[in-house]
Structure 1
């Protein structure tokens, strides 16, 4: 039971496994068997700044996996799992136990828990502004002063928000 297998077995529903591979895309950090086990443990996802093996099979799993690429190297060829539950660097970001990991098709961000509430509020506002802007652009408005939302559009946006919440 090396550190990687221990980390997989310690996963709880909703956890995200984050692995530091020192940004080495030639380091296979996860294969299909352990990805399947992570999924069965209830993991919300896996993030590595290294590579994954068996990428075609992993892609078919109901488990979001973010990696620097795919590579056939097996564990131990480039990296040896060392520890679990400690602060690491992944993709150039500090990741500490308890951090929130949020990912979509564009990538992954790490959010310290004490920033989450403010960040969520800011993200919701940004999304609302971008919905408004997209509606304006769709009807032919120029992005000049509109994107990002400038003072000339602020009153129109505020009125739009009132109608959106009704």
Structure 2
């Protein structure tokens, strides 16, 4: 990971997902997924995606491995593990021992489109997990790992290995490395403008004046 990558992650951790979503709108990009609330841990996370896709049927040929373990061992403190389990089967795509393994490696967190089990253990470890469903049902005999570090589907977004991920209680957002510079710069500009507007409100400026034409045109990047 380059110094630029580390810098972008540090900047993402300071940006709330609403500002990043506004930046995507301004730039006519997609990547925001709602409906994946934070079920454990606290605070915003950011990292590069390590992806896992689960499915029904038989695992790919090769030595047997427990699902998710390859991703855990490929991840580090600058990683978010992103899991797809969209089979419709009630089966956990992530669980307590995987959470512990990720916690020990310092992984930033997990985003799962699919059921996660042992969520109380994750809360006990204070490990961030964002998911749309929890369950008690094991993956054993129900789903298997189909691929690691291949594209996955989360909501209506295709996530590729190495995509930037930022998540908080508003959304989970995925950003291509090709777009990260302009997205971060646009989001930082939006945050700066909103901070100035908040300061004006606190100083007594009527909110209708603060949130007038300037606010409505904020996403265009042109307030003239």
**CA distance in 1: counterparts of 2:81 and 2:150, whole angstroms:** 12
Q: Which of 100, 110, 116 in structure 1 is aligned with 2:180?
A: 116
SS in 1 for 2:178: helix
State the TM-score, normalizing by the size of structure 1: 0.79
| Higher RCO, Cα 8 Å, sep 6+ | 2
Alignment pair present for 1:75 and 2:134: no
Corresponding residue number in structure 1 for 2:84: 20
Q: Could you tell me which of 168, 173, 177 is aligned with 1:104? A: 168
Shift of residue 39, structure 1, vs aligned partner: 1.5
Does the CA-based 8 Å contact 1:25-1:70 persist in structure 2? no
Equivalence for 1:61: 125
- Using the size of structure 2 for normalisation, the TM-score is 0.60
Residue of structure 1 in register with 2:100 after alignment: 36
Secondary structure of the 1:49 match is strand
Counting matched residue pairs gives: 152
Q: Highest CA radius of gyration, 1 or 2?
A: 1
Q: Which residue of 1 aligns with 2:199?
A: 135
Pick closer, same or farther for the CA change 1:105–1:24 going to 2, 3 Å: farther
